[in-house]
Structure 1
Amino acid sequence: MRIASSLELQLGMPNVCADQEMSMLGGRQPCVQAFTRMVKVWKQGCTSHSWCMGYERRTAYYTVYRQVYNIDLHTVYKCCPGWTREGEEMGCLHRVCGANTCFNGGQCARTGDQICQCPLGFNGTRCQYDVNECEVDEGGCEGYCCNTIGSYYCKCPEGSRLGPDGKACHDVNECEELNGGCQQTCVDTPGSYHCECSEGFRMHADGRTCIAVNSCSVLNGGCEHKCVDMGNNHYKCDCRKNYQLKRDGRHCELRDPCEDRNGGCAQLCLAEGGRVHCSCRPGFTLAEDGKNCEDIDECSSGHAKCSHSCVNMLGSFSCVCHPGFELGADGKQCYRIEMEIVNSCEKNNGGCSHHCEHTTNGPLCSCNHGYQLDRDKKTCVDSDECVSGESCCRHFCRNYPGGYECSCRAGHRLNPDGCGCDDIDECLSETSGCEHDCVNTLGTYECFCELGFRLDRDQHSCISLYDRELEEEVDEEEEAHEQLEAHRLPDLLFRKAPQLLQYTAALHSRYDSDDDDSDGGDSEKELEIQRERRGELRLDSSIVCLDGSFGDDCSVSCEDCVNGVCSENRDQCECSAGWTGIICNKTCPQGTYGQACNSLCRCQNGGSCDPVTGKCLCPPGVQGLLCDDGCPRGYFGRHCRKKCNCPNNGHCHHLYGGCLCSPGLYGRFCHLCEY
């Protein structure tokens, strides 16, 4: 224990403060370690009771030292800050206060126990501590108290504002300013507010906007461009400039300004980006107004370059030669008539395949009917009327050089006009071969037998239904069943009861065996033989339509034909080009077109045919008469081997690969939306 001398400072002396000092002491600490080794030893009784050498494990121990350090804390007594000791005084009796002694604006105190006199908001011997005014009663704030260095301030919750005293909070009426941002009704509440909508409207997700139940605010009313609110929960769609509404009343399509009075142009009109550009035909120039065309006087301007005389005409000019001269092939140079005129068609028919006509510009070739000029304007090649749609064939068309020939399906004959096909009435022509009765149908016929007979397997001959043993039984029953109603024939279906034709069928219940003496397998087999003999279960059903009706169930008449006319026999609808079906209400299947949809579509690269004319409708990026100038969907390049990099396997330019965007999209990859 350490005893302080009377000369040292001690706790209790004036202005003496205790302080902790730390010292580090170093020393050596012993540590015992061990190691093991093998040593040689002599052992007795290894073999034949003799000594031998062996090994044993021996452990040795040794001591090492390591340096360790200890931290020693002890209390010392010093003069408190701002005080000092002189000599061997019993305490620190002399005040020390300089320019840097007091902090935060504090000043040295001349009297009292404090060294520094602190300003409001600070304390401590040297004014080094901030006073937290919010610790006591929240600084007197009604809302929140916020402490700052040397001071504090009050803050109010959202929906209220600070009063003039800087401490009290008053409610704010948010509805007073701009209706609180509400579109319709603003309702103030203590510390807050909310918006409400009138009847017939609902609140938007933003909590401020009111949306009518039927208005443009919901998905733009379904409009592609603009939605115009008409009030009373009604609206209509409108399009941007140079666009017009489609028939659906929602989508827009680009309006061609040139279709409206030719865009105001006197001659040629070209629409680019919705704007009109007027131009003139050769021989005219555009006037200053940019719309009208003025005639160019080629003779005065020197553009005609006639060797003799020039006559100006509206939009053109004509060169005239002096007597004794003839106008050359260029229409400008005049040549003296001194040589015999050579007929250009005399040698090798002018190179023409068919007809040659001599002109001043050389031979003019033409072709016979059924042929057309090739690209060389001399050779005549056959025109395939069956493919081009020029043929008038109703059923089948066969092309041959210079013309074509029509033919009909089985059961039809070619009409005298060489185009249409008429049904053959095999019953009238006596080619049916029916033994009893014959009923004609469209393209064919059917044979029927009289009462008491059935058709044979050849579907022409008639075989008696009854054996001689049953003739008497049949005679007795004929009087009771003279009229056989249609509903008694379960295997036939009539629109009305037959009036002109008689049909017979073996009724299953009428000829069932009543013999109870025979039973077992023999009885069943005999019954089956009797049914086979009578033709039961072999009656072929047929549908015969009367009173000008036709169709699978005799439910169609000529008044039902929608895209065609009724035939002369009033037994079918003759469809217009591009239509098919019993009543001509179905368009031609994909890949066909024309009359009776008999022509095949030859469009390539995803093109589709117009069902009436067969004209190819090419997809974006593909062009040509048969859509042959382009690549299939998803490919581009000279050989169509490069793949398009367009989203959703979209179309791209067949040469450069640029994406061709659908309406409403733009951007390099059609990934941006205009609306």
Structure 2
Amino acid sequence: MKGTVIVISILALLQSVTSCTQNEAYTCYKQETTTYVTYTLCWEFWNLFQCKEEHTITKTVSSTCHRHVCCEGYQRSNSWEECKAVCFGSNSCQNGGSCVAPNKCICPSGYISPKCDDENECSVKKGGCSHTCVNTKGSYHCSCPPGFTLDSNELTCKDVKECSVNNGGCAQKCVNTEGSHYCSCNPGFSLGSDQLTCKDDNECSVKNGGCSHTCNNTEGSYHCVCPLGFTLDLHKLTCKDDNECSVKNGGCSHTCINTEGSYHCSCPPGFTLNPHKLTCKDNNECSVKNGGCSHTCNNTEGSYHCSCPPGFTIDPHKLTCKDNNECSVKNGGCSHTCNNTEGSYHCSCPPAFTLDSHKLTCKDDNECSVKNGGCSHTCYNTEGSYHCSCPHGFTLDSHKLTCKDDNECSVKNGGCSHTCNNTEGAHHCSCPPGFTIESDKLTCKAEATIPQVRTSAVCGNDNGGCSHSCIGMNETVQCTCPILKKLADDNVTCIDVLGFYYGLCTCLAVCLMVATGLLARKWCVRRRGAFLGNQRPTANEQKLFVVVTSSQEYGDEFKNINLQKPPPYKEKMDEKDIYM
């Protein structure tokens, strides 16, 4: 639009201004030229021909001429040229301007009068440019910073969408900005040094990518991987153990045991895993070293047990059979001796006993039934034994079979207080004159009265002269004797009275044996022998015997009644001390 206005103005100016000339008379000279032709003969290569020659005659002729003279401010180079205006010493203006009048130039667009100097359009409002105005010779133009381009009006800069052309040169993402752009990369990539290309990030190189186990780098990403037996959690970073046992028991037939990253099947005692490690098969424990059993091994489903033959019992470890001591329970049923053997037992009897047909009970052998047991006089069968006995006044010899006469008088005078008279199988006491035998047939009693109390001493002085006990009474003493003893005639000495009871027991026993034909056995004292009689001793008699044996004092009566020496004192007699 601007250029069109300028052109119209120039045309109008040209129409209104003509070349400025004026007529001027002067003597002028001009040369006039006259031309005539002559013909002559000419030769050329022996040819004769007519040739033509032109001749010119020039002469100067003066006359009055009129000439055009340029107006002031105009000039021309030749007279035949038009006069042209002179602008600042030249017929033309600089920068393509037209000189239309003296010192008056018509300038093309971009130039300004009077000399058509360049117009700096940028000096006024940046030439209308939105960004940069660039003045040029005769014109100007707007320019834009990098990242912008001129709009169609050539004035306004608009943003260049670099990303729209070849993605801005970016390998992956192009991000347009106002006047620029930049490249970016997808997750898992980083910009290269050229700021255009993307290179893969190896996320696994930093803290294993956060993976608890294996980190696998991929193009632009990565992922965590778990070993067999593990599964990634929801965050896809941590491997958590798979409980294989939670699904169909891991395929195990019996027990499934989950472990860290794996699992295994196990079997109850007595079973072994098959080669595929899932099902259990029964162990035949008995096939290896008999299961550890000392005798019989019995395999069962999943177990086994040891058993023992009769007469044996399994020990607490349930492996070894130990012999049953059948004798430990009720003596094996044996009446006497039970003999345990390896796996069995048998009953046996003491000498003089024989097992019955049941092989449990011992029955007594009656030794007296064969040759009177070898006794010279009386044979007494006892439970499990026998013994020979002699009538009163006899004693068994060292072989305990033959009876020999006892000289009762040789032992403590036969119990007589005075004279002892030995007879075949017996003895009797006799008294000197002035004495009479008492009812015990042992003691002689003086016919005269003998004082019972001594007054000449007290108990504290030599026990009052008493051989045993002394009792002080009103400045006198009374001597006393223990049971089975009595005061002698001197009233201070205690003498034995035991012979009477022995004699009585012996007499009763002999009488009873004769009356029953030696078939009945009654109570008599066993070899500890306090009594021999036809009935069990009374409590008083037992007490008497105990007192006698405790005193350890024995009269000659023991010899006469054919008794062995009593054993040491016993506080209480039991049934074992007495024969039935």
Shorter-chain TM band: under 0.3
Larger fraction in helix: 2
Higher RCO (CA-CA < 8 Å; seq separation 6+): 2
Greater gyration radius: 2
Q: TM-score, normalised by structure 2?
A: 0.24
